[in-house]
Chains A and B, each alone.
Chain A
């Protein structure tokens, strides 16, 4: 356990940024937090979480895969991948840190997604325990401890500074590189901070929420439930829930004609969209009920089925706060599961 005094926080950031790109939550012009690159004078946001999740760092919203140039009957394929530099993401919360394991289970299994892997290898994740979880938080439902997040380094905010603990080799290396700014830390301060966070978590309205009614092996039981119709009735079919979700991992691959060649890119896609998985014969899910069901069945049933019961949700609460019509995974799970 190491300690960083409050006064040295900026030096700490500067020391990291001197060697690699450092990203941390910073308030944008409307006062909401976004992960932003640190430069001298950048102030870390005090917000509980960022509007967009931290998945952007490993699975960006759009990325170029390759370029094509055509000359006569010849097509030249150009690998447009850029060299990925080492970077550090500071201030990732427990929920987002847990989402990386879910993304890994999709992108790092055979066939390995080399674009994702490359970013994963170059990124160091510094997580930060939550001080004041909000009413939309329900990471506890999935066994995630907001007071003890995963990641390469875990940071706790204490009265006069920050406590840091390295969890992996990458984390050790980061703390070693900044060792002259750190001092030895006392576990007790961390325990006190954790106790405070857990006490708040226990009081929040979604404390004790379980997803027992959904999960492994429930496909047959849940697929034809009549509630899907009423739940999806007001769904607009927009992609807000998908795009703020830290675990949504679907993408579309498209070609963009630049007028002097083709750029093949991939971008986030949403199963809520009418042109999701559009094929030559048309669409496989023609109504919003089917699309809506797909999104929630994927997170609540299909994904757990294939991953030893782990849900495809980390309880960050972004969709609860952001859905234009306030329909979300908690309402769905409660309605289908029939539990509190």
Chain B
């Protein structure tokens, strides 16, 4: 930031932007940033700095990610519920039209890809598409606007794009993975075991090899799903931050940085939509594969 460029290096600026607002449990005996020692048995507190977050390990929660993610999810539910209440078979208008367009688009994608009959798939795809899109959309808000405002209000860290948090993307991917396992077992029963053990080499001798390959293939699905979204959004966010850091380099960089900012933002409109769409389509494809009996 240009405002406090004197007291903050560029790398500090970037790291600050990539640190979540975290609430967690510090282990006993840990020395905090101000030199105090955490009492025996640990202590639940707001983390101060990346080191403390690392020390908290799994017993921590990214408050900013959760608030933005749940908030955007609630926004989706509220918006679509409002339309659902008003939906009639008469002539639609305004917001209803827009929501129906989204619903029809998702429905068309589901029907193209998923050939079984499952009332869960379409609502699932709709939720994923709109929710992920909204989370990605936060990327287009200027990187300093909300974090800096909140910092002035006393909140130290703030990451407003939930999909740049691997916990968020993997949380959804794991949800999809659980559904994949559930429907694989429900639809195929014992056939699912056969699929894991007798593919691609259909011989009892090869069962360990098959099992290894199939399990790796199976586990790769949620990881590719969650990490693809995370990677894309994280990289996009990183470039926004780097461009923002350019502003503090010198007056000469103001105009190029501004142009870069606009250019990348326009390009990012495509990226965020595409990533939301890919997440949705892959979910449908994976669940479709879970339903197909070979």
Q: Do A and B come from one complex?
A: no
Residues of B within 8 A of A (CB): none
